[in-house]
Amino acid sequence: MIDKINELIEMNLNYLFTEPNFSSFRFRDLNNRLLIDLYNKQLINFMIKEGLITLNGQNFTLTPSGLFIAENGGWMKHLDDEAKLIAEKQSKIDARQQLETELAKSNIDANKLNKKIAEQNFKDKKSNKITTWTNIIIWILNLGLLVLQLLKAG
């Protein structure tokens, strides 16, 4: 019985939905025979746990959730819809994780590039100081030569 629980719920939920007299209802097996008490109780407990029915004494009532499921295609469709929702959520989670992984890799690459640029800038700064001092020395020599030429000419 337990291995066919979803089919039993489907059939009995539909029966409860279409049966006008819930109070005398006993659950049925897949061959439309009355379930023996043990299986009947198990099915009742399972359907109560799933929020499909309530039981007041011997009276069964579909819950709002049970009524909604029965009106909108039944238990098997409900399970299928839930599975699709779970798959869709998992797909979104997977896509988000993929984007986060790509972003993390991109950040690592950017950090490596920034480190290289900083190292190059440090080297360039040192090179720029040497070039600046070389230019100053050449300027002083040119100024000295200019002064010498002016003194010779004058």
- Residue-level pLDDT at 74: 95
- Residue-level pLDDT at 57: 75
Is residue 126 scored above 60 in pLDDT?
A: yes
For domain 2-73, the CATH architecture is: Orthogonal Bundle (1.10)
pLDDT level of residue 105 (50, 70, 90 thresholds): very high
Q: Measure the CA–CA gap between 44 and 16, rounded to whole angstroms.
A: 12
Is residue 154 scored above 70 in pLDDT?
A: yes
CA distances from 149 to 38, 141, 146, 152 (A): 122, 12, 5, 5
Q: Would you list the DSSP string of 52-65?
A: SEEEETTEEEE-HH
How many CA atoms does the CB half-sphere of 151 hold within 13 Å? Answer: 6
Instruction: Choose among 30, 65, 31, 29: nearest CA to 47.
Output: 65
> Among 33-37, 83-87, 88-92, which is the least confidently predicted range?
33-37
Q: Measure the CA–CA gap between 72 and 117, rounded to whole angstroms.
A: 62
Domain boundaries, the chain: 2-73, 76-154
